[in-house]
Every structure is written in structure tokens, then in C-alpha cells.
Amino acid sequence: MNKDYEEALVEEEEEAVVEEEALVELTIKERTEEEKAAMYSAMLGSVSVITSALDGDNDFCSEMTVEEVKERVMRSSGYLSSGVALDDWGSEDMSTIIAAITEAEAA
């Protein structure tokens, strides 16, 4: 693994911990519509990470090993799964997010 990749991986892991801590905090208090919208947008970003990482026709993650790509995809999938599990989404459409989780788990 090269040094730049290792630093990026550590940064991603730190961001994942912050996101998980935020999820715990959000389950304790009622979320505002703005918080829900921000999380939904972030979740769509994770969908993009999953689909781009699994698409061999682009350069996204091209410098990563197959195992490193799998780890990145599964981290994003875990974030999505945690978000979908929140019960205050109302009528928000989760079909794209659930499809990305399914795609990640099948990879």
C-alpha cells in the first residue's frame, strides 16, 4: 500500500467513526428536516461511491486492490444501512439506497 492511500484510508476511517457517532446522537434526539435532508444527501453520496467503485469502466478506485475496493464499498454500505434503519424518514424514497446496499453486499 502506498503512503497516500494509507493516509486516505485513515482519514476515511476517522470520518466513518464521526458519522457513526453522529448517527448515535441522531437516534437519541429528534432530527430536524434540515438534518434529515443533509443525511439523505450524504447517503446519496455513498451510493455514488458504491456504484463508482464497483464500475470497472472508470478510474475511481483504480489504484486500489480488489480487497481495498471491497473494504471501501462495505464501509459505505454500512453507513447506508445505519441510515436506512432510522425510523423518522417519513416518505423519503430509499429505493436507490437499498439497491446500492444490495449491490455492495453482492460484490
Of 105, 107, 99, residue with least CA distance to 47: 99
Q: Which pLDDT tens digit goes with each residue over 26-53? A: 556 789 999 999 999 999 999 999 999 9
DSSP string, 8-55: HHHHHHHHHHHHHHHHHHHHHSPPPHHHHHHHHHHHHHHHHHHHHHH-
Q: Radius of gyration over alpha carbons of the chain, in Å?
A: 15
Residues of the chain with pLDDT under 50: none
* CA diameter of the chain: 44
Q: So what's the pLDDT on residue 57?
A: 86
Q: Which pLDDT does position 39 carry in this prediction?
A: 95
With vertex at residue 85, the alpha carbon angle to CA 83 and CA 90, rounded to the nearest 5 degrees, is: 85
For residue 6, give the C-alpha cell. 494509507
